[in-house]
Structure 1
Amino acid sequence: MQFNSKNLQCFLGAGLLIFAASDCRADIVLSTTRIIYPESLKNSMVQLMNKGNKPLLAQIWLDDGRENTNPESLKVPFVITPPIARIDPSRGQTVRITYMSKILPADRESLYWFNVLEIPPKDKNSTDKNQLQLAFRTRVKLLYRPSGIKGDSAIAAQKLKWHVASSTNGLNIEAKNDSPFYVSLNVVQLNTGGTYYSVEPKTVPPFSTEQMTVPGLHKNVEHAKINYKAINDYGGEIEVESDAQ
């Protein structure tokens, strides 16, 4: 289940059974919905705050898009300090992210994901050995931004080029991103003749294209417009209407 740029997932028991649930609520809140890490910074800081009424243990790590991979097996060019922290109620914890390598592309952004898994303490007074422990994970994007890339990420979102084409699976729309920035789409709609078709949004990588299927349409359309919302560096929305080719 996606909430803009944040994924909230629940884990049950020792087996870590994952399910998406609308009534899940994390007590640990991040200071941002996305992390922009300019190359010029020595470190990037993220503030965690425990809004709950009990102490929590937080495990923090980065992944490279493989969200269900064991963190210990992931090799990312960053160091998280601290990787594990106890956060008392109404208290915070500053997490430092440090870039440790120069292997990332210099002409475009690189995308990673910042994860916080909060684990509540066991109830020492409970006699139920089969008691389930709920753990919550929050996951937001981390964008490493090299100093040498030119342009503006907000302008990049506004300048996506859209193309409509039929396929064996129905009608697709294609977003082309000619910029060195990731463009995170939050809402995408195809407007043809005043009828709007909602499309599942995707993130469009730098110098790449992404295809999205239009549910309910199976033939090509003419003079269509694409109405979309992209997420800016601060977690706000950029609203754009664009002609589709």
Structure 2
Amino acid sequence: MISMKTFLTLTAAMVISLGIVSFNTHADVVISGTRIVYPQQAKDVSVRLENRGERPLLVQIWLDDGRDNTNPQELKLPFILTPPVSRMDAKRGQTIRITYLGDALPQDRETLYWFNMLEIPPKSASNQNQNLLQLAFRTRIKMFYRPAGLNGDPGLAAQTLRWNLVEESGGVKVNVINESPYFVSLSSAALKTNNQSYRIITETLPPKSTNSLAVKDLTQAPANAKVLYNAINDYGGTIKSEFEMGSP
């Protein structure tokens, strides 16, 4: 197995020789989907990888719980991923199987993990006498563990968010309340007032939480405003919603 210490020294995991440089600047392996949902009742879930490049690659996969620079062997997460390391020939695919080990996790809300894929290119036999920069590309997407019997519809969770304005000395923020048991992944949000639009700095909203989000370039809370926001559903699609609110 490739040393994880080597991989996690740099997020992009680069092997560098100084001098004249030759390198490939894009990842070849594609993950089927932008997020993974693991229902509690499932025996396992599968993730499909595809090597769309012109050369064989070594691929290593693991999960983390948000500590993205920690050696996976130290995390002790309740999942097994197989195979953890595989060779992928050009124009071929690979199925990764994720299996839940049954350890205790919260049953009243989702738990967030991250699926990591590191793609290692082979050394080029034709460039033995050249200085070479090789990039090992790391891709990281969300994985939601979803207990059985949660209230509500995960596809409608974004539409149940409640927003209110908070005026502070440093500017205006919005509090957004997610009372659902599901994570809501915001991709964009804007505060609309008096024909003006102000961008809201978005993030993923945990279940049963209140989150304070900054509003760019707004120094005073308006009397009336509307929030227009987009969230990402289980399939990577966009859910468009809006919320009317008054002054703080």
TM-score (norm 2): 0.88
Segments of structure 1 that go 5 or more residues without pairing to the other structure are 1-8, 16-22
Q: 1:47: how far off?
A: 0.4
Q: Can you list the C-alpha shifts for 1:83-124, whole angstroms capped at 9, x where unaligned?
A: 101100110000000011331100100000001010000112
The CA deviation at 1:32 is 1.0
Give me the whole-angstrom Cα distance separating, in 2, the residues matched to 1:185 and 1:226. Answer: 12
2:94 paired residue number: 93
SS in 1 for 2:136: strand
Q: Which runs of 4+ in 1 moved over 6 A?
A: none
Which segment drifts farther, 209-218 or 23-32?
Answer: 23-32
Output the CA distance in 2 between the equivalents of 1:185 and 1:28.
26
Question: 2:4 is matched with which residue?
Answer: none
SS of the residue aligned with 2:138?
strand
User: Which one is further off, 163-172 or 144-153?
Assistant: 163-172
Q: Tell me which moved more, 69-78 or 26-35.
A: 69-78
The corresponding residue for 1:204 is 205
- For the pair 1:168 / 2:160, whether they are aligned, the reply is no
Partner of 1:105: 106
Q: In structure 2, do the counterparts of structure 1 residues 68 and 130 end up closer, same or farther at CA, with 3 Å as the change threshold?
A: farther
State the secondary structure of the residue aligned to 1:72. helix
Aligned to 1:134: 135
**Which residue in 1 is equivalent to 2:13?**
11
2:70 aligns with: 69
Q: Write the letter of the residue equivalent to 1:10.
A: A
Equivalent AA in structure 2 for residue 134 of structure 1: L
Task: Find the aligned partners of 1:168 and 1:123 in 2 and give their Cα distance.
Answer: 57
The residue that corresponds to 1:6 in the other structure is: none
Paired with 2:25 and 2:170, the residues of 1 have a C-alpha distance of 34
Letter in 2 for 1:86: R
Provide the secondary structure at the position in 2 that maps to 1:224: strand
- Once the two structures are superposed, residues 206-239 of structure 1 have per-residue CA deviations (whole angstroms, 9 ceiling, x without a partner) of 0001211111011222211100000011100000
Q: In structure 2, how many angstroms separate the alpha carbons of the residues matched to 1:154 and 1:228?
A: 15
Aligned-partner Cα distance in 1 for 2:105–2:169: 37
RMSD: 1.7
Which ranges of structure 2 fall in alignment gaps of 5 or more residues?
1-10, 18-23
Could you tell me whether the CA contact under 8 Å between 1:202 and 1:210 is conserved in 2?
no
Amino acid at match of 2:117: V
Aligned letter for 1:216? D
Once the two structures are TM-superposed, the CA of residue 24 in structure 1 deviates from its matched residue by 4.9
Distance (whole Å) between structure 1 residues aligned to residue 86 and residue 56 of structure 2? 10
The answer (yes or no) to whether the contact 1:179–1:206 under 8 Å persists in 2 is: yes
Could you say what secondary structure the match of 1:244 adopts?
strand
CA deviation profile, 1:158-203 (whole Å, cap 9, x unmatched): 0100011112331111110000000000011111112111122111
